[in-house]
Amino acid sequence: MLKKIIIVLAIILIAGLFYWRNLNSPADSGGSARIFLVNQGENVMQVAENLRQDNLIKSAFYFKYIARRGRLSIKAGEYTISPSMTTSEISERLTSGEALSQEKQIRIVEGWNIKDINDYLNKNKIVPENTFISIAKQEIRNLKSEIKLSGELTNDLLETASLEGFLFPDTYRIFKMTTAEGIILKMLSNFGKKLTPEMRAEIKRRNKTIYEIVTMASIIEKEVRTPADMKIVAGVFWNRIKYGMPLQSDASLSYILDDKVGAHTINDLKIDSPYNTYKYPGLPPGPIANPGLNAIKAAIYPALTEYNYFLSDPKTGATIFSRTLEEHNANKYKYLK
């Protein structure tokens, strides 16, 4: 009886040993090499799971085991990895630091909308053409879970909203082979960091939602330039909403007309769209651009103002404020004639 038990245990031990060794064997001995990206800040567990999802290794657990046993330090970068490599060979490649390329810089400008960002990425061949807009324009309910859980997308956004407004404009360092999804995740994460606990508390104190603030900020971003003017315009716009007046923003019309004009025709003002803030009072359905931090702060902390109207001097870009409609009409005749 004891002999049989020993034999069974030996068989189990041998089978276990073969199984363990098999985990190190190639995931696909006939597979072709591909680019694998290790993002800055990713830990061993995240890299292991990504390798397994890309079918480059057989077991994420085994990769983590050999990485931790050897106290290996995985370095960020882009690597050529083949599923015909063993797990040990892959771990050595990722810890060698011999990445294919260095990081590069992209600059997303305040006030760009999704289409503007997409055009910039297309023009500079940052990602495959139109892959950015194909993701960013999707309704949130249709996005991948990792994107939905980024930034503020779990807060108060409508499930039918796009990512417009939450793609924070900034200078970003990216790898050469970064995907549109990777860029979007960076921008959403950045937005979440920029919105401080104090700012969130003030939004709540004012009985506003983050979505409302970002929508207002996007209009402010497109209307005026300086932080001081932004705060005054925020005060004007919130007052208009308070008293049931239309915002009368040409920027919101430009969003639906896809133009960049400062003033629209009488026929344009009659367009039947919820983004026509001449026709419908209150905020439009969502952001019209991706605002920067100054515009967001202005929407949260508007100036107390007696002004009710404003326009931009087309020659200097200066904002001209007025208290009454008569003053405003006089300024229009003076600056826009």
pLDDT digits (tens, 9 = 90+) for 95-134: 776 665 556 789 999 999 999 999 999 999 899 999 999 9
What are the residues facing 335 on neighbouring strands? none
pLDDT on residue 24: 64
Residues 209 and 190 in one domain: no
pLDDT band with cut points at 50, 70 and 90 for residue 155 = low
Question: Domain for residue 84, yes or no?
Answer: yes
Question: Domain for residue 151, yes or no?
Answer: yes
Which among 39, 42, 87 is positioned nearest to 67, based on CA atoms?
87
Between CA 208 and CA 204 the distance in angstroms is 6
Please check whether residue 254 is in contact with residue 261, taking contact to mean a CB–CB distance below 8 angstroms: yes
Question: Domain for residue 321, yes or no?
Answer: no
Pick the most confident of 26-30, 157-161, 205-209: 205-209
The angle at the Cα of 43, spanning 38 to 47, to the nearest 5 degrees, equals: 45
Range of the domain at 300: 205-305
Which among 245, 232, 192 is positioned nearest to 214, based on CA atoms?
192
Q: What is the mean pLDDT of the chain?
A: 84
pLDDT on residue 103: 66
Q: Tokens standing for 127? A: 């990602």
Q: In this predicted model, what pLDDT tens digit does every residue of 44-58 receive, in sequence order?
A: 888 888 988 888 988
Measured in degrees and rounded to the nearest 5, phi and psi for residue 12 equal -65, -40
pLDDT band with cut points at 50, 70 and 90 for residue 19 = very low
Please check whether residue 298 is in contact with residue 217, taking contact to mean a CB–CB distance below 8 angstroms: yes
Task: State the CATH number of the domain containing residue 57.
Answer: 3.30.1490.480
Sorted by sequence, the CB contacts under 8 Å of residue 20 that are 6+ apart come out as 62
Question: Domain for residue 9, yes or no?
Answer: no
Question: Domain for residue 327, yes or no?
Answer: no
Between CA 242 and CA 100 the distance in angstroms is 56
Question: Domain for residue 200, yes or no?
Answer: no
User: Is 163's pLDDT higher than 60?
Assistant: yes
Pick the most confident of 38-42, 149-153, 254-258: 254-258
Residues 261 and 297 in one domain: yes
Residue finishing a domain among 171, 194, 217: 194
Question: Domain for residue 176, yes or no?
Answer: yes
pLDDT on residue 228: 94
Percent of the chain surpassing pLDDT 90: 40
Residues 275 and 293 in one domain: yes
Residues 144 and 222 in one domain: no
pLDDT on residue 1: 62
Residues 64 and 115 in one domain: no
Question: Domain for residue 182, yes or no?
Answer: yes
User: Is 2's pLDDT higher than 60?
Assistant: no
Between CA 86 and CA 215 the distance in angstroms is 51
pLDDT on residue 15: 45
Length, in residues, of the chain: 337
Residues 215 and 295 in one domain: yes
Helix (H, G, I), strand (E, B) or coil at 310: strand
Residues 118 and 179 in one domain: yes
Considering its fold, how many domains does the chain have in total?
3
pLDDT band with cut points at 50, 70 and 90 for residue 149 = low
Q: In this predicted model, what pLDDT tens digit does every residue of 242-292 receive, in sequence order?
A: 999 999 998 998 898 888 766 777 777 778 899 999 999 999 999 999 999
Residues 66 and 107 in one domain: no
User: Is 86's pLDDT higher than 90?
Assistant: no
Residues 117 and 77 in one domain: no
Residue finishing a domain among 127, 160, 194: 194
Between CA 32 and CA 319 the distance in angstroms is 59
Residues 161 and 82 in one domain: no
Please check whether residue 164 is in contact with residue 136, taking contact to mean a CB–CB distance below 8 angstroms: yes
Residue finishing a domain among 172, 194, 216: 194
pLDDT on residue 69: 82
Residues 211 and 147 in one domain: no
